[in-house]
Each structure stands twice: as structure tokens, then as C-alpha cells.
């Protein structure tokens, strides 16, 4: 199986079209998810289950309404329900009706769930896709890209030598 590293040398200047960027991001997502699933699997988790577990664990008092999980993770209610079913079967979360509003279902973390969340976060922190400097630059660039409604908003917010910066674009401080 070839990887992006096999295909492109770090010094190559690939086509910077939107199509190329989208394809590269999606390929990177697949590679990252494969690595994350590999480190989470021994804990009985997939990355989507970890996302739910981490959100519940980070919530005040470790309790989250199901509707917040749907909205935050931008997933269909049935998908979230299935993920919560698996977490509940593993003893990582519990599900209960909100006493104050019986229309609402609450998901709560268990002690076993807190331990698993901590172990999973540690495992994820050990995943290394590239050298630390490249990972930092990519993180900044991706967060900038996500935060900006248009590409023009991002100009001047990227560090010099950003991989997302077109060679014809002059970096100017704002």
C-alpha cells in the first residue's frame, strides 16, 4: 500500500487547486483515522465512539443531553444512538431520561468510562503522523482554514512558509 509519503517528497510543490487540497485532506483523514482506530481498538473503541465518550467525559458533571451530541458531532440521531448503545453495553456510559424534561435523554460517563477516556487520550497523543514541527504547522493551518469563512480571511493569519500558502502569495503581517 502506498502512502502520501511514497507519492510526494516533502519538497515537492504539488498543484495547489481546491480539488487537490480537498483530495489531500480526505486522504490525510483516512490515514489518520486508520491510525486512531488501531490505537483505540485495544480499548474497545473506534474513533467515533471515542468522540462521544470524550464529549460526555468533558461535560460538566459528565452528563450530556443526546441532542447536544447530535449537534456537536454533526451526526444523525440514529448514528449517535448506535454509538451510545455500544458505549453503554461496554459499561462506559449510562443513559437516562431527564427528570426535569422527560422528552430529553441524558448520557452520563461512568468511572470505567472516565478511565477509558483517559487511556484513549494517552494512546491518541502517542500517534505520530510526521515530525513535530510539521504537525504544529499543519495544526495551525488547518485550524486557520476551519475558522475562516473565506480564503481571503486567512491571508496574513498563517505563519510564514505555511504549506497552504501559494508560492505567488506574499505573506504580509496584519
Nearest CA to 50 among 64, 35, 63, 40? 40
Distance CA 36, CA 46 (A): 8
The H-or-E segment that residue 28 falls in is helix 18-40
Q: Which domains does the chain have, with CATH numbers?
A: 41-124 (1.10.10.10)
Q: What is the pLDDT along the chain (174 residues), one digit of tens a residue?
A: 444 444 444 444 455 678 888 888 888 889 888 999 999 999 999 999 999 999 999 998 999 999 999 999 999 999 999 999 999 999 999 999 988 888 899 999 999 999 999 999 999 988 877 778 888 888 888 888 788 766 555 555 444 444 444 444 444 443
- What is the C-alpha separation between 51 and 75, in angstroms, rounded? 11
Q: In whole angstroms, what is the distance from residue 127 CA to residue 38 CA? A: 10
pLDDT given at position 142: 83
17: alpha, beta or left, given left = phi > 0 and alpha = psi -120 to 50? beta
Amino acid at each position: 500500500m502506498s502512502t502520501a509519503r511514497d507519492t510526494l517528497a516533502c519538497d515537492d510543490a504539488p498543484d495547489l487547486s481546491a480539488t487537490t487540497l480537498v483530495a489531500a485532506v480526505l486522504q490525510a483523514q483516512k490515514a489518520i483515522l486508520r491510525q486512531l482506530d488501531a490505537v483505540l481498538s485495544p480499548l474497545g473503541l473506534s474513533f467515533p465512539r471515542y468522540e462521544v465518550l470524550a464529549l460526555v467525559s468533558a461535560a460538566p458533571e459528565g452528563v450530556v443531553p443526546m441532542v447536544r451530541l447530535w449537534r456537536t458531532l454533526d451526526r444523525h440521531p440514529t448514528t449517535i444512538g448506535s454509538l451510545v448503545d455500544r458505549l453503554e453495553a461496554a459499561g462506559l456510559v449510562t443513559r437516562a431520561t431527564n427528570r426535569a424534561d422527560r422528552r430529553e435523554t441524558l448520557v452520563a460517563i461512568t468511572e470505567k468510562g472516565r478511565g477509558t477516556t483517559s487511556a484513549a487520550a494517552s494512546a491518541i497523543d502517542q500517534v505520530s503522523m510526521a515530525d513535530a514541527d510539521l504537525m504544529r504547522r499543519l495544526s495551525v493551518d488547518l485550524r486557520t482554514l476551519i475558522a475562516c469563512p473565506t480564503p481571503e480571511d486567512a491571508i496574513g493569519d498563517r505563519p510564514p512558509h505555511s504549506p497552504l500558502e501559494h508560492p505567488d502569495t506574499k505573506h504580509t503581517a496584519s
